[in-house]
Structure 1
Amino acid sequence: MMFKEKNVQSKVLEYIYTTSKQPILLKDMLVANRQFNNGMQVDPGKLGFRLRLSRAYFLYIGIVLVILVPISLLTHKALAKVDSHISILGAMVITAMIFIGFNFFRDKMRDIMTKELIKKSWKLHFPFFSYEDYSIKIDSIFEKAMKEEISKKDLERYILDKLTAN
């Protein structure tokens, strides 16, 4: 399984995403970390995960139903007495919100999955440097390495040398 502790979030991520068993390459992880820190979308292929769209729809529909059914039960009598045109407009607005909401749901899940996989790969490549403390620092070192055109095979040594020099 992908994550050690089995909380709801990790179960959801395992359910809606397929992940590769291959480790993430150092440069791919550093590029993904840079993009993630800059608020950009990270290419899921570089991190080795893919959305199972049908499962994501199924889960999202379940979440929507858990929210809407109780609200519908509570507001049914009041809405039955209101003009039908208002109910139709309300249904249109709610339907639009549901469809727009799926895009937000998908983006949020992708961001969470991206961060989890970057952290997992971080432990593999930089086991003695915590992600929270060194993410930004290594990002700036990686930027310098790219400007200096450091080769892929020398990249890890370059970063570790810069970290230990400071």
Structure 2
Amino acid sequence: MIKKMWEKFVDKKIIPYVFTCSSHPMRFLELLKANKAFVDGLDPSYTIPGFKLSIIRLYIVYFVLWNIIIIPASLIFHNFLAKLDCHLSIILAIIFTLLFFGTLQIFKEWLIDRVSQKVIKKAWQNHLPHFDYDKYKEKVAQIYAEAIDKDIPKYELERYILDRLVEND
């Protein structure tokens, strides 16, 4: 329940604020390349067209989310933290600084993966609406790789992939 609410909040509020997404539809060849890159686990920010990350807005969102968690925790544990030795306080400050920047990078990569998948799914609905994305994404990436190996011309690529998908079903 909480996970669904968090994902809905991310999709409706954070992603539109942090990312600028293109209103133009992705071409079929771009979809194939993006899907292959996403399935292969390549960095989506460089391989998938259609979105741009605003670093400043990412920092703002992350700072607000971090403070929503840290400020109540520090208020709850204030008496305990006030009685700590100064050396232990320095060590805790270093640990929390590491956690802050480490989780920032994890949060950034998670958001980029989420947006990449949304962009690919949107293009998938335009070009391959009769095939479920979750079921066929690996198969399409595999067929696309075979088509590249066989030097299938770009103008025959869509027909080749659709024929192969229909053959396998």
Matches within 5 A, 1:133-144: 133-144=135-146
Distance in 2 separating the partners of 1:150 and 1:32? 18
CA shift digits 1:92-129 (9 cap, x unpaired): 21012112221111111000111111111111110100
4+ runs deviating over 3 angstroms: 43-46
Does the 8 A contact of 2:62 with 2:104 survive in 1? yes
Return the offset for 1:23: 1.1
Does the 8 A contact of 1:16 with 1:56 survive in 2? yes
- Report the TM-score, using the length of structure 1 for normalisation: 0.91
Does the 8 A contact of 1:24 with 1:48 survive in 2? yes
Distance in 2 separating the partners of 1:47 and 1:121? 11
Return the offset for 1:75: 1.1
CA shift digits 1:73-95 (9 cap, x unpaired): 11110111111111121012101
Does the 8 A contact of 2:37 with 2:44 survive in 1? yes
- Report the TM-score, using the length of structure 2 for normalisation: 0.89
Bigger relative contact order, structure 1 or 2 (CA pairs below 8 A, ≥6 apart): 2
Aligned equivalent of 1:121, options 120, 123, 144: 123
Equivalent residue, structure 1, for 2:165: 163
Aligned length: 161
1:8 aligns with 2:9: yes
Does the 8 A contact of 1:17 with 1:51 survive in 2? yes
Matches within 5 A, 1:141-156: 141-156=143-158
Aligned equivalent of 1:41, options 40, 43, 46: 43
Taking only aligned residues, the RMSD between alpha carbons, in angstroms, comes to: 1.5
Does the 8 A contact of 1:32 with 1:43 survive in 2? no
Equivalent residue, structure 1, for 2:97: 95
Return the offset for 1:47: 2.1
Distance in 1 separating the partners of 2:84 and 2:10? 40
Distance in 2 separating the partners of 1:148 and 1:43? 28
Structure 2: unaligned runs, 5 residues or longer: 1-6
Structure 1: unaligned runs, 5 residues or longer: 1-5
- Percent of pairs identical after alignment? 35
